[in-house]
Amino acid sequence: MKIAIIGAGNMGGAIARGLASLGQDMELAVANPSQPKLVALREYSSKIQTFTDNVEAANGADMLILAVKPWLIEKVLREIDAEVDLSSTMIVSVAAGVSLDDLASFMTEGEKRAIFIAMPNTAIAVRQSMTFVCHNANATAEQVAMVKTVFDAMGQSAVIEERQMTAATALCSCGIAFAMRYVRAATEGGVELGIYAHQAKDYVLQTLRGAVELLEATGNHPEAEIDRVTTPGGITIRGLNAMEAHGFTNAVIQGLKASK
């Protein structure tokens, strides 16, 4: 299988590195207009072929991953479509705000193409992304499985309907910033309580790691795990209730809704 990635920035570069590390037999081509990011990719892995010409990179690709800024998607896709037969190519866009219909309209006979949107988050750089994938009706089950395999290799992926994409993006792409803000808030609270900032951040991160692993290992609802920590009349329930009195749950929900 040949995978071509157009754009070697944060997203395209992370996807290329993730795929190159898979150890699977695949041809990997990456295109970018300027050399420095391509040089870095070549240095990362000899499996990555690099091009400054999008058409050359896309030629013969089974999967074409478009990782340029949203406003460049139309230009880039039209340019490739004019020169390359995309009739049996899976078209995968990671651009925010570009719909499946938009992508089809950027190609001749686009209504016949297998088109996907994949929405990773920035943790793709450390292969811990939560990536959502949606597709049009032309995508076969086998093609959907192939796209999912690519993004599963860089964290976890879930196939959802396009209508759920905005909500999923708020939850997990914006959500990574919300999680970071919790880390910052908890760190600042720790400092006020008397812990050095750099230590407080490390302690918060390990506490969050523990919370994630507890929930994954037990399959419990978060509230069940909270019940295990909250001694009647104890300090944890006092802390939780103070947070709720200051609008914690509501602030998170309102933030997610504002991000849609």
Ligand X SMILES: NC(=O)c1ccc[n+]([C@@H]2O[C@H](COP(=O)([O-])OP(=O)(O)OC[C@H]3O[C@@H](n4cnc5c(N)ncnc54)[C@H](OP(=O)(O)O)[C@@H]3O)[C@@H](O)[C@H]2O)c1
d(CA 24, CA 39): 22
The number of C-alpha atoms within 13 Å of 249 and in the hemisphere containing its C-beta is 6
Q: Does 80 bind ligand X (CB under 6 A)?
A: no
Span interacting with ligand X, options 8-16, 80-88, 100-108, 183-191, rule CB under 6 A: 8-16
Which lies closer to ligand X via its Cβ, residue 67 or residue 204?
67
Q: Does 57 bind ligand X (CB under 6 A)?
A: no
Q: Does 195 bind ligand X (CB under 6 A)?
A: no
Strands 114-119 and 129-135: antiparallel
Edge-first strand listing for the sheet containing 90-93: 48-51, 27-31, 2-6, 63-66, 90-93, 114-119, 129-135, 155-159
Instruction: List the interface residues with ligand X, window 82-101 (CB under 6 A).
Output: 94-96
Q: Does 187 bind ligand X (CB under 6 A)?
A: no
Residue from 88, 232, 97, 81 nearest 169 by CA: 97
Instruction: List the interface residues with ligand X, window 122-181 (CB under 6 A).
Output: 122, 173
Which lies closer to ligand X via its Cβ, residue 103 or residue 200?
103
Helix (H) or strand (E) segment spanning residue 141: helix 141-152
Among all residues, whose Cβ is closest to ligand X?
A: 9
Amino acid at 81: D
Q: Does 69 bind ligand X (CB under 6 A)?
A: yes
Which lies closer to ligand X via its Cβ, residue 18 or residue 120?
120
Question: Residue with structure tokens 């016949």?
Answer: 112
Task: Give the interface with ligand X as residue ranges (CB under 6 A).
Answer: 6-12, 31-34, 37, 54, 67-70, 72, 76, 94-96, 119-122, 173
